Structure 1
Amino acid sequence: MNAIEISNLKKNFEGFKLDISKFNVKKGYITGFIGPNGAGKTTTIKLIMNMLFKDEGTIKILGEEVDSDNINIKEKIGYVGETSGYLAESKLKHIKRMFCRFYKEWDENIYKKYIKKFLLDENKIYKELSSGEKRQFDLVIALSHHPKLIIMDEPTANLDPLVRNEFLEILQEHMENENVTVFYSTHITSDLDKAADYIALIFKGKIILYDEKDALIEKHSIVRGKRSLLTKETKTCLVSYKENLCGFEGLTNNKEEAYQVFGEEVIYDKVNLEDILMYYTRGGDNE
């Protein structure tokens, strides 16, 4: 069973249209959701969370269609975003006391374990926490009620690398102990290089790539060579490319085909997710 199933989803705004024909998030894995600002990441998440009304289509979570009155589904979702919605003037212990009442599966032992792990002081007021401490506390709350699905919208934005690494380590540790699915939206692709199992790339409201992360990395390659090698025929094996005074650099999604075209006359370099995001969405001279 998939954790999230989206079919023929449409949402129209002035100047922007979200149109996802089919997208399934596999249960038990971390799926990274990447794309440039304005691509539709947050809109998709708000529709999944029932924070926006869709124009068309269906969204199912753990086999049940999303519905504003479906308390059962809401209890199975943990959420961590750039903003939490917590009362900024409240102490952490008071926020916990209020939120734990909404979850039948609330686990005080898990809560205390991660509060201790992050060295959080429950007597502190939420607004006085650092950005890193806020995201840590948000994650603690999200993990403490045994969610089956954790949805994250830019959870590590503006955090330093050490806090981001600790955040990801706790998330992966929790997944090893619980049957959890993570849907992780971010523009910080280095986080997903380390943690993701699957990657979905959204651009201009449409999902243009979806595959296992390792498979995506394996079949793509950066190609570098002389400008004279760029012809009408050779350009067809590149997703996009850039030219400069010294030569060209492009991305291929078929290394074997690129080798047949360019042979040993170019350099082939390994890609990361940032390369894939950049070349598919920003393009180059042929955009």
Structure 2
Amino acid sequence: MSSVIELKDVSKSYPHFALKNISFNVPKGCIVGLIGENGAGKSTTLKTILNICAADKGMVKLYGKEIGSLSLSDKENIGVVFDDSVFFENLTAFKLEKIFSKIYMKWDRNYYLELLTKFNIPTEKKIGEYSKGMKTKLSLICALSHHPKLLVIDESLSALDPVMREEMLDLLLDFVSDDENAVLFSSHIVEDLQKIADYIVFINQGEVVFEKSKDELLYENAIIRCRGNQLNEIDKGDMIAFYKDENGAAVLIHNHTDTRVKYKNLLIDQATIDEIMKIMIKGELV
């Protein structure tokens, strides 16, 4: 499977934070979810991919080309949706369309207007009067309306209500349905990524903890829930990580048939991506 984005040993240092040897790929036809706590390095990773901030070392490639050598045509194939609106707030959606039609060679006015109608975006109202959710929808509509091959989304959809978020997720699934397009989607709403992502990249304290397919994460891991004094009943060789507080313990284990038989007297649940991340951040790795 060829990749739209390739990162290899990418590092970027700031006075109080550093990305350390970040490596992962975003294959064609796939949605890759980037997860981690606030401050873990997700936004810095995206900015490095987009060459907004240059990596100190390592390789970043888009479409097989080094990020610094992309042509104007290559750059037009990238759609970006940031968490904050980047539009002039005294513009309307109609006036914004006229600006973008002069910027993008593949700008599709009819598709833009179709999406504005579909998602109830007022066309004559000033953008500064929009709610945060409306601004988010407009940002995604603009990113899609020049028909990119890659969408990079940074925490944006969290401003939407659950129903509208579901509609936007369906739009992303449609976007990758032709097996040529790809999405890199950073979000702290992990349930969204569990619905639509093909791969998950987990970043913690500037490092990649794992890069795995969603199915591998969900079906090869399980969680034992028990009292704190029952931890010594679980072999360390079966543990990946555990978290313990006054309410009990949650233990991330390898989800094998023999493991479930071995601990049949303990409660074993299917793991979710959100719980896997929380246990690995708050708990102790084994």
Q: Same fold (TM over 0.5)?
A: yes
Cross-structure match for 1:90: 91
Q: Tell me if structure 2 keeps the 8 A contact 1:34–1:185.
A: yes
Q: Tell me if structure 2 keeps the 8 A contact 1:64–1:73.
A: no
CA distance in structure 2 between the aligned counterparts of 1:281 and 1:117, rounded to whole angstroms: 39
Q: Tell me if structure 1 keeps the 8 A contact 2:260–2:268.
A: no
* Segment drifting more, 217-226 vs 177-186: 177-186
Whichever residue aligns with residue 265 of structure 1, its letter is N
CA distance in structure 2 between the aligned counterparts of 1:176 and 1:195, rounded to whole angstroms: 12
1:163 aligns to 2:161 (yes or no): no
Q: Tell me by how many angstroms 1:176 deviates.
A: 2.8
**1:21-70 deviation digits (Å, cap 9, x = unpaired):** 42111111111000001110000000111110211111111111112773
CA distance in structure 2 between the aligned counterparts of 1:246 and 1:203, rounded to whole angstroms: 25
1:281 aligns to 2:281 (yes or no): yes
CA distance in structure 1 between the aligned counterparts of 2:247 and 2:127, rounded to whole angstroms: 53
CA distance in structure 2 between the aligned counterparts of 1:109 and 1:178, rounded to whole angstroms: 24
CA distance in structure 2 between the aligned counterparts of 1:261 and 1:219, rounded to whole angstroms: 15
Cross-structure match for 2:75: 74
1:271 aligns to 2:279 (yes or no): no
Q: Tell me if structure 2 keeps the 8 A contact 1:30–1:183.
A: yes
CA distance in structure 2 between the aligned counterparts of 1:174 and 1:243, rounded to whole angstroms: 41
CA distance in structure 2 between the aligned counterparts of 1:128 and 1:245, rounded to whole angstroms: 47
TM-score (norm 1): 0.91
CA distance in structure 1 between the aligned counterparts of 2:247 and 2:135, rounded to whole angstroms: 47
**1:58-83 deviation digits (Å, cap 9, x = unpaired):** 11111111127732221010011111
CA distance in structure 2 between the aligned counterparts of 1:261 and 1:52, rounded to whole angstroms: 50
1:133 aligns to 2:134 (yes or no): yes
**1:113-169 deviation digits (Å, cap 9, x = unpaired):** 211111212111111111111111111111111100000000112322122112112
Whichever residue aligns with residue 220 of structure 1, its letter is N
Whichever residue aligns with residue 49 of structure 1, its letter is L
Whichever residue aligns with residue 15 of structure 1, its letter is H
* Segment drifting more, 170-179 vs 267-276: 170-179
CA distance in structure 2 between the aligned counterparts of 1:225 and 1:105, rounded to whole angstroms: 57
CA distance in structure 2 between the aligned counterparts of 1:148 and 1:6, rounded to whole angstroms: 18
Check 1:189–1:258 CA distance in 2 against 1; reply closer, same or farther (3 A cut). farther
Percent of residue pairs bearing the same amino acid type: 33
Structure 1: gaps (5+ residues):
none
Whichever residue aligns with residue 57 of structure 1, its letter is G
Whichever residue aligns with residue 25 of structure 2, its letter is N
1:40 aligns to 2:15 (yes or no): no
Cross-structure match for 1:179: 180
CA distance in structure 2 between the aligned counterparts of 1:17 and 1:186, rounded to whole angstroms: 20
Q: Tell me by how many angstroms 1:12 deviates.
A: 0.3
Cross-structure match for 1:64: 65
Cross-structure match for 1:50: 51
3-state SS of 1:67 partner: helix
Cross-structure match for 1:234: 235
The correspondence of residues 80-229 of structure 1 with structure 2, limited to 5 A, is 80-176=81-177, 179-229=180-230
* Segment drifting more, 255-264 vs 108-117: 255-264
3-state SS of 1:264 partner: coil
Q: Tell me if structure 1 keeps the 8 A contact 2:136–2:159.
A: no
Q: Tell me by how many angstroms 1:261 deviates.
A: 8.9
Q: Tell me if structure 2 keeps the 8 A contact 1:126–1:134.
A: yes
CA distance in structure 2 between the aligned counterparts of 1:71 and 1:174, rounded to whole angstroms: 22
Q: Tell me by how many angstroms 1:229 deviates.
A: 3.2
CA distance in structure 2 between the aligned counterparts of 1:198 and 1:72, rounded to whole angstroms: 27
Task: Work out the number of aligned pairs and report it.
Answer: 285
The Cα RMSD (Å) is 2.2
Whichever residue aligns with residue 71 of structure 1, its letter is L
Q: Tell me if structure 2 keeps the 8 A contact 1:238–1:250.
A: yes
**1:223-264 deviation digits (Å, cap 9, x = unpaired):** 023444323972443232233566432112x12288179431
* Segment drifting more, 233-242 vs 93-102: 233-242
Whichever residue aligns with residue 279 of structure 1, its letter is I
CA distance in structure 1 between the aligned counterparts of 2:235 and 2:247, rounded to whole angstroms: 18
